[in-house]
Amino acid sequence: MEGDPDKEGSDGFRWDSDEEEGPRNIPALACLSPIVPVGEDGAGGGELSDGFHWDSEEEEDEKAPKLPSSSCLYSRDGVGKAVVDPGEASSSAGPSNTKMISEFVVMGFPRERVIKAIEENGESNTEAILETLLTYSALEESPPEQKHAVPNLSSSESAGDIFNEFSDVDSDLGTEENMDPLSEKENTLKLLVDMGYPIYEASIAMDRCGEDASIAEITDFICAAQMAKAADAHLAEPTYSPSSDEEERKPNGICFAPPKNNKRRFFEEEERRRRKREKRFEKKVFDEDGGVLSLPKPMIGFGIPSEPRPIIRRTLPQAAIGPPYFYYENVALAPKGVWQTISSFLYEIMPEFVDSKFFSAAARKRGYVHNLPLENRTPLLPIPPQTIHEALPLTKKFWPHWDGRTKLNCVQTCTASAKLTERIRKALEDYDDEPPLKVQKWVIDECKKWNLVWVGRHKTAPLEPDEIESLLGFPKNHTRGGGICRTERLKGLGNSFQVDTVAYHLSVLKDMFPNGINVLSLFSGIGGAEVALYRLGIPLKNVVSVEISESSRNIFRSWWESTNQKGNLIDINDVHLLDANMLEKLINSTGGFDLIIGGSPCNNISGSNRVSRDGLEGKESSLFFDYFRILNQVKFIMGKS
């Protein structure tokens, strides 16, 4: 079972390299600087890796005046001079962009710091601003100011895993001018960071080496860990056995289970194919260019029902391990760097990218970051129709042979105009069944673009809401009636989970929670997560659901009532209401959450958006940081008790 030491691969999917950055779990509920991707295995470092290098830099080129590279804490060559000056620089002349300030303030950062960070980084470099703010919190242990009460971190000695790494750090809530002098540990940490070590690695190393370890011991430890990681990087061999040093592995280590077949030839064949596949995946998921994301092909995540069994195993970082379980979703084809940022905020867990075309008759490419086990998944039954013709039998009769689609494209919130289907009809009416190739091509292009189906001779149509309901795995009429107009139905559906896909991932919870679970559901929409759990037969005890759309809340609640749920549904209309205070009350009254699930708004991330595809900092999509915040707050509060 022992793999070749030099090939042993726990992290087939590393996307960062030997200079990973990515501290996490900082008491302030804020964490860390996102990973700085650099060259692979030290070899590809080259010119690309000089200096700070992630996507924000490219943005600067276009949108912002050039900023000095020192604006970034973790520069590669400049080796992490903390540019943050924790002193009291008076900042009366704040940036003009008050909107930006308030956005950061809403995220929980103190106003003064926001202003300072903006001054340091320039208004347009939001990534760097965020990083600076997080670094303030990391290095100064002053948690972002909460609008309401926040758990008292000074008692974090007893906190759960999430804060253990910094557990001896006192924090003085909200009083910036009243900062305690740095403790010895903090000083050491700061020193290591100044020396250029990633804060995350430094803090882990300090924990491992013990209280009174010397700097030399700690740096030795970090070097050893980095070498181990470099060795891992050579992996490409699927053989991996969990071993005693498992903890030392890259936290996001994911590996392939060893093949069981003993026949040499088959084994070798399998091996070759696997290596190839793995290499491709490894190389491409996040490349050194600052998060260019390339998705696994086929996009089957860590396994789909039609495969005999998942071929992937992974080890999660300690801090990511539940309770609670968490599950975060968003569109797979996000702009550069987005998934990398998401992942770096969520314990560097590799997103599971899945196209729901493997679960239904319609595509839906999504990434899921979660800490659920991967073994023993079971699909929702009955297996839904897998082709357009099975899903929409009435279309078969009119489907021209030259339209070769068997799967629909992604269901979106917008739908084709009647004008378009009219143009299509007219274009086809001039011919019999065999229009010229040019016309065929145009029609098919439009059909694909707008997900049209054939409902009559020469007649195409967009999907009806009830058809979308079943494609997405919802019960018929889930979104119908009760005062919900068609537009709202389509919008709610377009923004939803594909239930079968999510249920497949969540199915592992069934045996763990035979008596039901408590769910914190963020950005619930029309209740895809709950429908999935319900259809899996997992009783819902308490569901706290946050959803801003009134229509969606109504849809969800009427489903809840019509399915005679035994548990309690608490719905909240704004995620910002869910502060530490409220969470603590909810946790006390429910006994804690078993699952925190949600997909934050994608509209600033989705490829369909031509107007405001601003990435994670977009107006709506930045709510991801609330998912992150709430996850950490819940972990903290639950860890306390």
Partner DNA sequence: AAAACTCGGATACGCAAG
Partner DNA sequence: CTTGCGTATCCGAGTTTT
Please identify every residue annotated as catalytic.
602
Find the shortest distance in angstroms from Cβ 265 to DNA. Answer: 26
Contacting residue, 233, 410, 443, 583, with DNA by CB under 7 A = 410
The candidate with the shortest Cα–Cα distance to 346, out of 324, 319, 373, is: 319
For residues 41 and 45, what is the distance between their CA atoms, to the nearest angstrom?
8
Using rule CB under 7 A, residue 360 touches DNA: no
Contacting residue, 538, 602, 623, 637, with DNA by CB under 7 A = 602
H/E stretch holding 201 reads helix 199-209
Contacting residue, 336, 377, 535, 635, with DNA by CB under 7 A = 336
Find the shortest distance in angstroms from Cβ 542 to DNA. Answer: 23
Find the shortest distance in angstroms from Cβ 56 to DNA. Answer: 12
Which of 259, 607 has the CB closer to DNA? 607
Using rule CB under 7 A, residue 412 touches DNA: yes
Residue list 496-515, contact with DNA (CB under 7 A)? 496
The candidate with the shortest Cα–Cα distance to 227, out of 356, 392, 41, 484, is: 41
Spell out the residues 6+ positions from residue 128 whose beta carbon is closer than 8 angstroms to its own. Answer: 56, 67, 71, 72, 121, 122
Which of 416, 538 has the CB closer to DNA? 416
Rounded to a whole number of angstroms, the distance between the first and last alpha carbons of the chain is: 40
Neighbours of 389 (CB within 10 A): 16
Neighbours of 141 (CB within 10 A): 24
Contacting residue, 603, 622, 632, 633, with DNA by CB under 7 A = 603
Question: What is the DSSP code (8-state) at residue 254?
Answer: E
Using rule CB under 7 A, residue 486 touches DNA: yes
Find the shortest distance in angstroms from Cβ 379 to DNA. Answer: 20
Which of 222, 362 has the CB closer to DNA? 362
Find the shortest distance in angstroms from Cβ 176 to DNA. Answer: 35
Contacting residue, 252, 518, 606, 632, with DNA by CB under 7 A = 606
Neighbours of 256 (CB within 10 A): 23
Which of 109, 627 has the CB closer to DNA? 627
H/E stretch holding 353 reads strand 352-355
Which of 221, 497 has the CB closer to DNA? 497
Find the shortest distance in angstroms from Cβ 17 to DNA. Answer: 16
Residue list 276-295, contact with DNA (CB under 7 A)? 284, 292-295
Residue list 615-634, contact with DNA (CB under 7 A)? 620
CB 174 within 8 A of CB 195: no
Question: What is the DSSP code (8-state) at residue 615?
Answer: G
Contacting residue, 241, 487, 588, 589, with DNA by CB under 7 A = 487
Buried b (16+ CB within 10 A) or exposed e, 532-571: bbbbbebebbbbbbbbbbebbbbbbbbbbeeeebebebeb
Contacting residue, 183, 589, 612, 641, with DNA by CB under 7 A = 612
Using rule CB under 7 A, residue 128 touches DNA: no
Which of 176, 287 has the CB closer to DNA? 287
Contacting residue, 448, 457, 476, 585, with DNA by CB under 7 A = 448
Using rule CB under 7 A, residue 331 touches DNA: yes
Find the shortest distance in angstroms from Cβ 352 to DNA. Answer: 15
Contacting residue, 63, 273, 276, 297, with DNA by CB under 7 A = 297
For residues 193 and 188, what is the distance between their CA atoms, to the nearest angstrom?
9
Which of 197, 286 has the CB closer to DNA? 286
- Sign of the CA dihedral running 546, 552, 553, 556: negative
**By CB under 7 A, which span of 91-99, 191-199, 487-495, 562-570 interacts with DNA?**
487-495
Which of 28, 605 has the CB closer to DNA? 605
Inter-CA distances, 228 with 16, 204, 232, 377, 437, Å? 14, 15, 6, 32, 58
Residues that contact DNA, how many (by CB under 7 A): 53
Which of 21, 547 has the CB closer to DNA? 547
Using rule CB under 7 A, residue 53 touches DNA: no
Using rule CB under 7 A, residue 601 touches DNA: yes
Which of 448, 585 has the CB closer to DNA? 448
* Bridge partners, 461 (sequence order): 453
3 state SS of 9:
coil
Find the shortest distance in angstroms from Cβ 449 to DNA. Answer: 6
Residue list 466-485, contact with DNA (CB under 7 A)? 485
Buried b (16+ CB within 10 A) or exposed e, 488-515: bbbbbbbbbbbbbbbbbbbbbbbeebee
Find the shortest distance in angstroms from Cβ 501 to DNA. Answer: 11
**By CB under 7 A, which span of 71-79, 242-250, 327-335, 569-577 interacts with DNA?**
327-335
Using rule CB under 7 A, residue 363 touches DNA: yes
Residue list 204-233, contact with DNA (CB under 7 A)? none
Edge to edge, the sheet with strand 568-572 lists 352-355, 365-370, 325-331, 595-598, 517-522, 540-546, 568-572
Using rule CB under 7 A, residue 522 touches DNA: no
The candidate with the shortest Cα–Cα distance to 14, out of 247, 252, 211, is: 252
For residues 379 and 502, what is the distance between their CA atoms, to the nearest angstrom?
10
Contacting residue, 191, 224, 418, 570, with DNA by CB under 7 A = 418
Contacting residue, 126, 395, 460, 495, with DNA by CB under 7 A = 495
**Phi and psi of 507, rounded to 5°?**
-60, -25
DSSP state letters, 73-136: S--TTTT-------S-----S--S-HHHHHHHHHTT--HHHHHHHHHHH-TT-HHHHHHHHHHH
For residues 615 and 330, what is the distance between their CA atoms, to the nearest angstrom?
12
For the chain, what is the total number of helices (H) and then of strands (E)?
21, 11
Find the shortest distance in angstroms from Cβ 339 to DNA. Answer: 9
Contacting residue, 37, 143, 494, 527, with DNA by CB under 7 A = 494
Residues engaged in binding DNA (CB under 7 A) = 284, 292-295, 297, 329-333, 335-336, 363-366, 409-410, 412-414, 417-420, 445, 448-449, 485-488, 491, 494-496, 523, 599-603, 605-613, 620
